[in-house]
Amino acid sequence: MKIVLSLGGSVLMSDFPKCNKMRAFAEEVELISNEHDVFVVVGGGKIARDYIQAARASGANNTLCDSIGIEVTRLNAMLFSTYIDSSPKEVPKTFERAVELSKLWNVVVMGGTFPGHTTDATAALLAEYVNADVMLNATSVNGVYSSDPKKDARALRYEKLTPEQLVEIVAKGELKAGSSNVLDLLAAKIIERSKIRTIIFLGEPGNIIKVVKGEFKEIGTLIEP
């Protein structure tokens, strides 16, 4: 299978600079890359949000804040690649370069691309570009809920959604630099237009392998037409 894995920065970098989680995720990615072609798109997490907040305080506009966020995602991607033997020590800035690198390496790790969205959308666009069989989105919750489960105790978790239903749920969220939503709207729209099979799941060590094996009922939501 061709797999695009979106690893949210808040998931990957939560114990930075210890990076025990990063090491654990890297081991899983390396294991699955023995049988599958893997592209990983890494998010920015708290570090990106802090940078964006500081830039916003200086009067920087949203595009500039996004560009700063992108640089942080690339920094995280470079760090993650140092934990993976079978990945190049180069973070591609374009999908074209990512494909070139994938011809030589089992795992290609990249960050963001251009302003206006988050790395979820980068991952969806990459999944579209490489005709991925599946996109895996590791996030801080165990799937898609009817509303934010951290704020609303009555939020309902979905086991399965169509891309159209996903777009409807995600459209209620906000789109600005550094904002947090289970997935960004552009990502949902790309998933919808290209009918990309997607699993949005809790990004804890051990879960990537479970999801690849199809054991995601309890830890994620399947998006399928």
In the complex with ligand UTP, the residue whose CB is nearer, 10 or 198, is 10
Q: Does 203 bind ligand UTP (CB under 6 A)?
A: no
Using CB under 6 A as the binding criterion, the count of chain residues that bind ligand UTP stands at 25
Residues 101, 81: contact at Cβ < 8 Å?
no
CA angle 120, 125, 130 (to 5 degrees): 125
Report the residue from 3, 32, 33, 45 that binds ligand UTP according to the rule CB under 6 A. Answer: 45
In the complex with ligand UTP, the residue whose CB is nearer, 86 or 205, is 205
Report the residue from 122, 137, 142, 221 that binds ligand UTP according to the rule CB under 6 A. Answer: 122
Q: Does 66 bind ligand UTP (CB under 6 A)?
A: yes
In the complex with ligand UTP, the residue whose CB is nearer, 115 or 205, is 115
Q: Does 109 bind ligand UTP (CB under 6 A)?
A: no
Give me the least distance between CB of 203 and ligand UTP, in Å please: 9
Report the residue from 81, 119, 198, 207 that binds ligand UTP according to the rule CB under 6 A. Answer: 119
Report the residue from 48, 169, 219, 222 that binds ligand UTP according to the rule CB under 6 A. Answer: 48
Q: Does 43 bind ligand UTP (CB under 6 A)?
A: yes
Report the residue from 14, 86, 147, 180 that binds ligand UTP according to the rule CB under 6 A. Answer: 180
Q: Does 44 bind ligand UTP (CB under 6 A)?
A: yes
Rounded CA-CA distance 42/99 in Å is 16
Which residues sit at the interface with ligand UTP, rule CB under 6 A?
Answer: 8-10, 43-45, 48-49, 65-66, 69-70, 73, 112-119, 122, 177-178, 180
